[in-house]
């Protein structure tokens, strides 16, 4: 019933608001509905390599999809080299970009895929005026408050939890309350694969908690947001600690928490709140508080998942069908 009222409210509200741009010494800032947004750009050059192995006992001829960072108003990627040479670059319905590579690999043979690209990331901070937040237009709400295999909005436990801890007439306040609850009730552990929010929510004492890593954190948040009529989606990419570092993952190793010492593959959330549009929500970068609309350029986004899904949050960068991804490495350096 609550969601029906939200949809009705959507039909009444409009968010066509003026904006202009001004220059700051520290970077660029936008004034949007009298709200200041500051941007801080950083450009990386990324060397990526991945090892695929044929373990099926026959010659494998298949297409491998390699995720390339998608271009948005805050991200610009320029591909410099791909080996083997791709047949073409493809874009899915959400704007995610993939290099399509045809490979032929004999039994027990290995194949290396190598890429080099630059990516400019605009970190930003929004200085919100919360009373200007509006619920989304109907066309956005219809798409991004629906359920999925990972976001079961009909789960009664999650529905009751969402209304109990985060119901509000203000969408930005709802976004903040969900983030605070998830961060305060997280039982962090590395998981392999993707469980979805149904399995991420567990009992703890007399209450509930989220058990898992960044993937479960993001999936739980998206489900709770969608239950309350707040459009939400996940973003996959990297969260770095410095601007120059190497990340690697050997998929055959079962490392547990030790994985965090050398792998920064990450998933976080975006919510849609007019007049600001899609806003990043980060709950693991600063464990003292969730960050909403406060996005560092140490995040390196690759793609979004709101309607389409490609698998585990750790392994969405290289997508084969029959070959096994055994090793993947990203070397981030300062770009021009």
Structural domain contains residue 277: yes
Spatial separation of the C-alpha atoms in residues 209 and 251, rounded to whole Å: 28
Structural domain contains residue 197: yes
Structural domain contains residue 154: yes
Domain that holds residue 161: 134-306
pLDDT at 193: 80
pLDDT digit string (tens) for the chain, length 336 residues: 444 444 433 333 333 333 323 233 334 444 454 568 888 999 999 999 999 999 999 999 999 999 999 999 999 999 999 999 999 999 999 999 999 999 999 999 999 999 999 999 999 999 999 999 999 999 999 999 999 999 999 999 999 999 999 999 999 999 999 999 999 999 999 987 888 999 999 999 999 999 999 999 999 999 999 999 999 999 999 999 999 999 999 988 888 888 889 999 999 999 999 999 999 999 999 999 999 999 999 999 999 999 887 655 555 799 999 999 999 999 999 997
Burial 203-241 (b: 16+ CB within 10 A, else e): eeeeebbbbbbbbbbbbbbbbbbbbbbbbbbbbbbbbbe
Spatial separation of the C-alpha atoms in residues 22 and 261, rounded to whole Å: 41
Structural domain contains residue 179: yes
Distance of alpha carbon 34 from its chain centroid, rounded?
Answer: 28
Structural domain contains residue 56: no
CATH of the domain at 180: 3.10.620.30
Prediction pTM value: 0.88
| Total number of domains in the chain | 1
Structural domain contains residue 235: yes
Structural domain contains residue 230: yes
Count CB neighbours of 15 within 10 A: 16
Structural domain contains residue 221: yes
């Amino acid at each position: 019933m609550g969601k029906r009222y939200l949809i009705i409210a959507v039909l009444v509200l409009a968010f066509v608001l003026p904006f202009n741009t001004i220059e700051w010494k520290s970077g660029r800032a936008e004034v949007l509905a009298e709200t200041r947004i500051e941007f801080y750009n950083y450009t990386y050059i990324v060397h990526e390599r991945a090892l695929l192995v044929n373990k099926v006992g026959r010659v494998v001829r298949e297409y491998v999809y390699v995720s390339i960072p998608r271009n948005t108003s805050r991200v610009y990627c320029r591909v410099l080299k791909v080996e083997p040479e791709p047949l073409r670059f493809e874009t899915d319905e959400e704007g995610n970009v993939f290099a399509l590579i045809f490979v032929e690999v004999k039994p027990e043979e290995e194949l290396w895929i190598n890429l080099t690209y630059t990516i400019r990331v605009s970190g930003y901070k929004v200085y919100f005026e919360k009373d200007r937040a509006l619920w989304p237009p109907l066309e956005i709400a219809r798409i991004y408050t629906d359920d999925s295999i990972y976001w079961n909005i009909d789960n009664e436990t999650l529905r009751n939890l969402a209304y109990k801890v985060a119901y509000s007439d203000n969408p930005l306040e709802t976004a903040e309350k969900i983030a605070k609850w998830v961060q305060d009730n997280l039982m962090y552990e590395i998981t392999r694969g993707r469980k979805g929010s149904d399995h991420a929510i567990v009992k703890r004492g007399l209450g509930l908690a989220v058990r898992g890593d960044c993937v479960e954190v993001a999936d739980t948040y998206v489900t709770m947001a969608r239950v309350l009529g707040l459009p939400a989606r996940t973003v996959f990419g990297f969260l770095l600690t410095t601007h120059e570092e190497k990340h690697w993952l050997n998929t055959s190793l079962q490392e547990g928490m030790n994985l965090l010492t050398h792998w920064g593959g990450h998933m976080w959330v975006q919510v849609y709140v007019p007049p600001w549009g899609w806003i990043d929500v980060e709950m693991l970068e600063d464990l003292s508080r969730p960050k909403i609309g406060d996005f560092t350029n140490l995040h390196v986004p690759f793609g979004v998942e709101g309607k389409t899904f490609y698998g585990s949050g750790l392994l969405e960068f290289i997508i084969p069908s029959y070959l096994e991804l055994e090793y993947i490495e990203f070397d981030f350096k300062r770009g021009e």
